Amino acid sequence: MARKRLGALVSGSGSNLQAVLDACAAGKINGEIAVVVSSKKDAYALTRAEQFGVPGFWVDKDKFPTADSYNLEILRILREYRVDLVVMAGYMRLLGEEVLEAFPQAVINLHPALLPSFPGGNAIEEALDYGVRLTGVTVHFADAAYDTGPIILQEFVPVHQYDTLDVLAARIHKVEHTLLPRAISLWADNRLRIEGRRVYIRSKQ
């Protein structure tokens, strides 16, 4: 089976990007990161990409008159690098339909909570403030809304009574770094099937 070409969308430090880069290098994913696109100029994720010899681009939303034109520029880059799967690895913007429609069932997002609980950009803090005893990590197919697409994998993370935000975030990130590569590997091996809101995982051949 041909190795899949992955396009990573990022906004921050890129620790999840690093996990995927490492998994690809170790042969745990039948694929490779072909390009990295950042919504922020100073995202350390771009440095991580450079260290692996992966092309990286900052797309400045302020240079585009509309959200549509901004998303079309992202799509242009993804197509230029012949991407098969788009991985939102800490991408802190809503991805436009221009990209979603160009990659049907081929855009994966990572979220630091057990969806549908605590969607949005402050999931870890909200879970801690709410007082839940369990939170977790979700990898799902992206759609046109925030954190509502069909769920691929989930793993719970305990919340201890004296956790601070930083302590809980570190525990969640550790799970993210294994769950995201695992979901990408399932997609790259053609083991995922979507029916309605349910994602079925085929047995390994």
Catalytic residues: 111
Q: How far apart are CA 8 and CA 46, in angstroms?
A: 10
Q: How far apart are CA 156 and CA 137, in angstroms?
A: 6
From the list 69, 91, 90, 72, the residue with the least C-alpha distance to 80 is 72
Contact of 7 with 164, CB cutoff 8 Å: no
Question: Residue 1 has which token pair?
Answer: 């089976």
Q: How far apart are CA 8 and CA 68, in angstroms?
A: 19
Q: How far apart are CA 7 and CA 190, in angstroms?
A: 17
